[in-house]
Chains A and B, each alone.
Chain A
Amino acid sequence: MAYYRSTVLVSMDPVCIEKGALEIKEQLIKELALLKLSEEVQVLDSPRLGDPETEGPDILVYPEGSHYIQLSPATVGPIVLEHFVKGRELQQYKAQMRDVLDEELGEPKDKEIRIILENIGKIDPRNIEDYIAVDGYQALAKVLGEMSPEEVIQTILDSKLRGRGGAGFPTGLKWKFARQAPDTPKYMICNADEGDPGAFMNRKVLEGDPHSVLEGMAIGAYAVGANQGYVYCRAEYPIAVSTLNTAIEQAREYGLLGKDILGSGFDFDIEVRMGAGAFVCGEETALMASIEGGRGEPRARPPFPASKGLWGKPTNINNVETYANVPKIIHRGLEWYTSMGSEKSKGTKTFALAGDVAHTGLIEVPFGLTLREIIYDIGGGIKGGKAFKAVQTGGPMGGCLPASDLDLPVDYETLGAAGSIMGSGGMIVMDEGTCMVDIARFFMEFTQDESCGKCVPCRVGTRRLLEILEKICAGNGEEGDIEELEELSEQIRKNSLCGLGQGAPNPVLSTLNHFMDEYKAHIYEKRCPAKVCRALIKYEIIDGPCTGCTVCARNCPVGAITGERKQTHIIDQDICIKCGICYQVCQFDAINVS
């Protein structure tokens, strides 16, 4: 593959062709040749770029991303001269920045750096040429053409890339172990199970830039000596599965997967396998058991997958985002990559901001930014002017951190030391209206349900934890509950086989640690300070503000509210299930919670 400095995509939408796109392309090629730029700038056909009716014919120049619209053969000359020779954009033909990005992925905020997310929304994930136009598969070409497997592994080691699936294990080291394993054949697995509720970074990458993951896997396969790869994707992501399958087919057609890739003699192919709704299958040994066609139960390690993995053969398994980093590191170099991040964690991490934060959605930041910078500077702070209470990171195996931890830098070590984990990148912000005992109960319900049941401490222990938490939320907490929660947590953590059991107590321990007062209020005062736990609160209608508009009565799911139109309404406490819908629909603040 030749190295082009820039790529011009010409929209070949039928409407654009009708308006002269072919002439535009011809003129472009002519002008570039005149300026002796044909070796540096390539011109490619593209599916529609902007709106053909109002903007066509149009072109898009990469890597700058400049979109020139409403072109005629006469305007091509000035654009080529200004853009490629003088290096500046010709504003008069440039499209106004549009809201091309959907609401899950807005424009990057000040402190963000987008590497993994940079192509999303900008390239057509179902067209491999779009990816190639932004230097896609250049890294694979370089690796196959110029580097030995050992050199690739050394590069990844030097980049200090760490696994983005949660644990942060050095990727280069993992590859080295798999390479050194004597047995063959070897397998490459991409973990796209993304089971943490509140996390959807991997989905977005698979749906928006699938080739970056395939390219990373192919580079890794060359490094460890694998010829077959699997992407294990959860069944909740049907669009990701279909996008991946299209991408794999196209990569095969272009000779970038399959036999003798780019004439190098290296064979590598990839298949997509679907999960079926079991969270524990994100754990690597369970995931492999699932690909083998069985129940997804974890097994003890060692042996580690690098020596005995899928079908008992050496296997390398990495997360979606880990693989997506690889082509960028190879293509743009170590110096660039290691300039981002903190001492021990290089590069960037994507997060899914959710919960009570003003701007929810995906973000990507260099490691080392503080929680405060992420939640306030990027996330816009708490929604509706309420006060911050906690941020949950790391999913069901993670923990809740309080306001006093907001200035901690986000990296693997710091979050771990604070009693949470980095996890895969879910970040749920909670405001003062969240009850932390209820949150602990919620997570325990999740883990209890998802425990595969193989280990007694995990199966029985999480059920007991859940029972105690439910009891406390129901207003029946008693002396000794807190101590039992602590003891049980310790036992489960120590005696469980896999990370699910070992991490399950984290939400309980971290809330006990930081929000003990709230536990005590529930147990000793039968009070839920955040007014969430249904057994401990009461909804009442206040006489003055109630206008008798009947909205609450019509919305109450159990018909607990009665009253004449224009008369103050009344809630029947025996019927009320305390769902809080009346509180939300009342426009006159006439509902009181106590």
Chain B
Amino acid sequence: MTTTPKQPDPLDNPQMKQIIDNTIAEFSEQNGALMVVLNHLQERIGYITKPMQAYIARKMNVPVSKVHGVVSFYSFFTTEPRGKHVVKFCIGTACYVGGVSQLIDKAKQVLGIEPGQTTSDGLITLEVCRCVGACSQAPVVVIDDQNHGRVKPSQFGRMLTDIQKSEVVA
């Protein structure tokens, strides 16, 4: 069911390219700038494509292989756009013991996709993540950067359909 909606590269979009240029200019003077630039681009653009990596390398005067090496090393950096809403399952110890796998099963049932995939309408991406530090509220699901604790499978199905519904209305 998964497809990656074919999108033009952010570099081809003047507005996005401006953001990329500004970000590089803003941080490239710092020591260890590459990580800082990538972190900000991940946040501002949402992903870092291969052409973007080549562009960053050229602008910052470092080998492309280095940029690629860094992007691929860290799990926070993604090379493809995600869905409009990102639902992350914490798979830290407390959440594992607290039953997060049942929530993943529930999501598979409701959305028909696995963690790492995006619904075909580009609406929701499922991901797993490391402990988000809210362990006393396990199991934790992070929906668009908002932590939800003590989630029950029955309630979670509704949370997902709520996201879908909110989009239909909007």
User: Using a CB–CB distance below 8 Å, which chain A residues touch chain B?
Assistant: 103-104, 194-200, 203, 235-238, 273-279, 290-297, 311, 352-356, 360-362, 392, 395, 426, 428, 430, 434, 439, 442-443, 452, 555, 557-558, 577, 579-581, 584-585
Given A200-B134, A235-B39: A581 and B153 interface contact (C-beta under 8 Å): yes
* Option from A238, A277, A354, A442 in Cβ contact (under 8 Å) with B138: A354
Which B residue's beta carbon lies closest to that of A228? Answer: B31
- Bound together, the chains give a CA A434 to CA B98 distance in angstroms of 10
- Bound together, the chains give a CA A103 to CA B153 distance in angstroms of 22
Chain A contacts for B31, CB-based, 8 A: 292-293, 311
Which B residue's beta carbon lies closest to that of A450? Answer: B130
Contact, CB under 8 Å: A203 / B133: yes
Minimum distance in angstroms from B73 CB to a CB of chain A? 4
Selected A-B contacts with CB under 8 Å, 10 pairs: A196-B131, A198-B93, A198-B131, A276-B35, A293-B33, A296-B73, A354-B138, A428-B97, A557-B108, A557-B109
- Bound together, the chains give a CA A439 to CA B66 distance in angstroms of 37
Contact, CB under 8 Å: B133 / A296: no
- Bound together, the chains give a CA A364 to CA B130 distance in angstroms of 24
Q: Is B102's beta carbon under 8 Å from chain A?
A: yes
- Bound together, the chains give a CA A430 to CA B98 distance in angstroms of 10
Q: Is B101's beta carbon under 8 Å from chain A?
A: yes
Q: Is B96's beta carbon under 8 Å from chain A?
A: yes
Question: Majority SS of interface residues in chain A?
Answer: loop
Chain B contacts for A579, CB-based, 8 A: 101-102, 105
Contact, CB under 8 Å: B35 / A293: yes
- Bound together, the chains give a CA A276 to CA B71 distance in angstroms of 9
16 new A-B pairs (CB below 8 Å) besides A236-B131, A238-B145, A278-B75?
A197-B96, A198-B93, A198-B135, A235-B76, A236-B132, A274-B35, A276-B42, A276-B75, A277-B129, A277-B130, A293-B31, A293-B32, A428-B93, A434-B97, A442-B96, A584-B153
Contact, CB under 8 Å: B105 / A200: no
Contact, CB under 8 Å: B136 / A293: no
Which B residue's beta carbon lies closest to that of A579? Answer: B105
* Option from A103, A236, A294, A434 in Cβ contact (under 8 Å) with B34: A294
The 10 tightest CB contacts between A and B, nearest first, are A197-B92, A276-B74, A200-B133, A197-B131, A557-B109, A277-B76, A360-B136, A293-B34, A293-B32, A354-B94
Contact, CB under 8 Å: A557 / B39: no
Contact, CB under 8 Å: B154 / A555: yes
Q: Is B70's beta carbon under 8 Å from chain A?
A: yes
Minimum distance in angstroms from A392 CB to a CB of chain B? 7
Chain A contacts for B95, CB-based, 8 A: 197
Q: Is B14's beta carbon under 8 Å from chain A?
A: no
Chain B contacts for A292, CB-based, 8 A: 31-32
- Bound together, the chains give a CA A254 to CA B1 distance in angstroms of 57
Chain B contacts for A360, CB-based, 8 A: 94, 135-138
Q: Is B55's beta carbon under 8 Å from chain A?
A: no
Q: Is B36's beta carbon under 8 Å from chain A?
A: yes
Contact, CB under 8 Å: A277 / B75: yes
Chain B contacts for A237, CB-based, 8 A: 133
Q: Is B106's beta carbon under 8 Å from chain A?
A: yes
Chain A contacts for B77, CB-based, 8 A: 276
- Bound together, the chains give a CA A577 to CA B105 distance in angstroms of 9
Contact, CB under 8 Å: A585 / B94: no
Contact, CB under 8 Å: A555 / B97: no
Contact, CB under 8 Å: B94 / A197: yes
Which A residue's beta carbon lies closest to that of B145? Answer: A238
Chain A contacts for B101, CB-based, 8 A: 579
Contact, CB under 8 Å: B93 / A426: yes
- Bound together, the chains give a CA A352 to CA B133 distance in angstroms of 9
Q: Is B38's beta carbon under 8 Å from chain A?
A: yes
Q: Is B8's beta carbon under 8 Å from chain A?
A: no
Which B residue's beta carbon lies closest to that of A311? Answer: B31
* Option from A200, A273, A353, A558 in Cβ contact (under 8 Å) with B32: A273
